[in-house]
């Protein structure tokens, strides 16, 4: 795990609101994020399972972080999600904690490709798989690799 992730203190507000936690003990590959079940994350008041949107949001967030963890990533480069596809394999009980792992599978100066999986922490059941594409160095915060260097990062 890179120094960036070890020193990561600030979650994006929505990550905090959901209760995402970086799995610092994780040894890889990629980056892992934990999300403990909670009532507000429920998709159905009667069934007490994670809402699909919660799983999707955690995959999106973890995917963004795994790009920032990539050795070629220049700190301060902004990024934007271009697209995200998620397959919901089965539902997950709110008694469980989700572990989402994202691995960056392709990275050049402009685009990064990520694959992610969500599984239950204790029973290790596959809950969802995801695939995302990100654009790096979006206009709001130019890519530091380009001549117009800019400060300021982006926590997606």
Give phi and psi for 105, each to the nearest 5: -105, -10
Which of 34, 37, 58, 104 forms a contact with another protein (CB under 8 A)?
Answer: 58
Q: Distance (Å, rounded) from C-alpha 121 to C-alpha 147?
A: 44
Q: Distance (Å, rounded) from C-alpha 43 to C-alpha 147?
A: 47
Which of 54, 103, 104, 112 forms a contact with another protein (CB under 8 A)?
Answer: 54
Q: Which two tokens stand for residue 7?
A: 């020193």
Q: Which DSSP letter does residue 40 get?
A: G
| Residue 58 vs 117, nearer CB to another protein | 58
Site stretch for another protein (CB under 8 A), options 21-29, 66-74, 87-95, 110-118:
87-95
The answer to whether residue 148 forms part of the interface with another protein (CB under 8 A) is no
Closest by CA position to 144, among listed 62, 68, 31: 68
Asked if 130 and 115 touch (Cβ cutoff 8 Å), the reply is yes
Which of 1, 21, 56, 74 forms a contact with another protein (CB under 8 A)?
Answer: 56
| Residue 9 vs 27, nearer CB to another protein | 9
Enumerate binding residues for another protein (CB under 8 A).
12-18, 39-46, 51-54, 56-61, 64, 78, 80-88, 91, 140-141, 152-156
């Amino acid at each position: 795990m890179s120094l960036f992730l070890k020193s990561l203190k600030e979650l994006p507000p929505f990550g905090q609101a959901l209760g995402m936690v970086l799995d610092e003990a994780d040894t890889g590959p990629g980056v892992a994020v934990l999300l403990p079940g909670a009532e507000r994350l429920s998709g159905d008041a009667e069934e007490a399972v994670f809402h699909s949107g919660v799983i999707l949001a955690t995959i999106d967030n973890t995917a963004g972080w795994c790009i920032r963890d990539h050795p070629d990533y220049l700190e301060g480069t902004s990024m934007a999600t271009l697209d995200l596809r998620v397959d919901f394999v089965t539902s997950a009980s709110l008694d469980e904690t989700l572990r989402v792992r994202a691995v960056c599978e392709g990275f050049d100066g402009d685009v990064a490709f990520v694959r992610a999986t969500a599984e239950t922490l204790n029973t290790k059941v596959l809950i969802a798989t995801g695939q995302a594409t990100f654009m790096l160095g979006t206009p709001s915060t130019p890519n530091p690799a380009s001549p117009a260097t800019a400060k300021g990062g982006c926590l997606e």
